[in-house]
Chains A and B, each alone.
Chain A
Amino acid sequence: MKSLAELQAIRDKMKNSMNVRDDNGNKIRVVVGMATCGIAAGARPVLNGFTEEVAKRNLDNVTVTQTGCIGICQYEPVVEVYTPDGEKTTYVKMTAEKVAKVVTDHLVNGKVVSEYTIGSVAK
């Protein structure tokens, strides 16, 4: 049986490497829709993908959260990205594969991945 002893070691390692979180309001918020239709369409791997990718790249200014029904079932899984400039981008029909590109292009380099947005898919 795997026990919590291992978690103690992880804690000690984290304590030594924790950098102070910047809470300067320059936060990017990633919101994943977790209603029934979202989950059925694949929101779980999308959510876990964002959490993992953001952690891997140490993006301290990004928080990943969830919400319920966004009201556009046919486009699920839906992910909304809120940037500090007040812009909101709605990504639709997301997949775990698309997550990496959104993280690199949008969250890191500030360039919206327009081909995944609702505007281009709805055309």
Chain B
Amino acid sequence: MQELSLNILDVAQNSIKAKATLITIKIHKNTMSKTLLISIEDNGCGMSQQQAEQVVDPFYTTRTTRKVGLGVPFFKMSAELTGGTFTIQSELKVGTKISALYYYEHIDMMPVGDMASTMLSLISVNPDIDFIYYFSVDENEFCMNTQEMKTVLEGLPVNSNEVLTFIKNFINENQAEIENSK
């Protein structure tokens, strides 16, 4: 994968498969410690300890189709390559939280990439799942929340073209503003 946003999209596929109704994605940049913390948390069916280990293992597959993608192993590797760390917490019937910590000045740091496109892909084909996306740099934060948007929309589809265009601009503009506020 050339950018972390694709990795995030891939990891979120596991949450969709786990029948999550809420998926929260957080990106937090700390300019003091030069770290980037990315987490993907869901309220899906969760995993047993053994299943969680399999999800992290790139060599674990079931027959010819992969029930669990390679998203998590890649995610873990991308963080560890920068000297960072990876954690997975999961509980059956409660959900799963996956976090990776990156040292973003490391030479092997991948760019975060196009998060607006990732969120759009997720929202457009999963209108019944709620997505919350936080992006923050130090204490400046912005948040996109489809639950809030659905309240405003009063029953109109969140994945209609006009709304998706709005979401794209909403993320791109607000994220740029946070990134440039110093």
Q: What is A's interface to B at a CB cutoff of 8 Å? A: 1-2, 4, 6-8, 10-11, 13-15, 18, 32, 34-37, 39-40, 44-45, 47-48, 51-52, 55-56, 64-66, 68-71
Mark out the residues of chain B between 136 and 175 whose CB falls within 8 Å of any chain A CB in the assembled complex.
142, 148-149, 152-154, 156, 159-164, 166, 169-170, 173-174
Beyond A13-B162, A18-B156, A39-B9, 19 additional pairs, beta carbon < 8 A = A1-B142, A6-B166, A7-B152, A10-B163, A14-B163, A34-B9, A37-B70, A39-B10, A39-B13, A47-B124, A47-B125, A51-B120, A51-B161, A56-B161, A68-B66, A68-B69, A69-B67, A69-B69, A71-B64
User: Secondary structure of the A side of the interface?
Assistant: helix
Whether B161 lies near A55 (C-beta < 8 A) is: yes
Whether A35 lies near B69 (C-beta < 8 A) is: yes
B124: chain A residues within 8 A (beta carbon)? 47-48, 51, 64
A39: chain B residues within 8 A (beta carbon)? 1, 6, 9-10, 13, 71
B177 at interface, CB cutoff 8 A: yes
Total contacts A to B, CB within 8 angstroms?
100
Can you show 29 pairs from A to B with CB atoms below 8 A apart? A2-B169, A4-B148, A6-B166, A7-B166, A8-B152, A11-B153, A11-B154, A11-B156, A13-B162, A14-B160, A14-B163, A18-B156, A34-B9, A34-B10, A37-B70, A39-B13, A40-B1, A44-B117, A47-B124, A48-B121, A51-B159, A51-B161, A55-B161, A55-B164, A56-B161, A68-B66, A68-B69, A69-B65, A69-B67
B104 at interface, CB cutoff 8 A: no
Taking the closest CB of chain B, its distance from the CB of A14, in whole angstroms, is 5
Whether A68 lies near B13 (C-beta < 8 A) is: yes
B131 at interface, CB cutoff 8 A: no
The CA of A71 and the CA of B13, in the complex, are separated in Å by 16
Taking the closest CB of chain A, its distance from the CB of B63, in whole angstroms, is 9
With both beta carbons as reference points, the residue of chain A lying nearest to B164 in the complex is identified as A51
Whether B65 lies near A44 (C-beta < 8 A) is: no
**Within the complex, which residue of A4, A7, A40 is in contact with B6, where a contact is CB–CB below 8 Å?**
A40
The CA of A35 and the CA of B174, in the complex, are separated in Å by 29
The CA of A6 and the CA of B153, in the complex, are separated in Å by 11
The CA of A26 and the CA of B28, in the complex, are separated in Å by 45
B149: chain A residues within 8 A (beta carbon)? 4, 7
The CA of A36 and the CA of B69, in the complex, are separated in Å by 5
Per-position 1/0 for B1-19, Cβ under 8 A of A: 1000010011001001100
Mark out the residues of chain B between 69 and 119 whose CB falls within 8 Å of any chain A CB in the assembled complex.
69-71, 74, 117-118
The CA of A8 and the CA of B151, in the complex, are separated in Å by 10
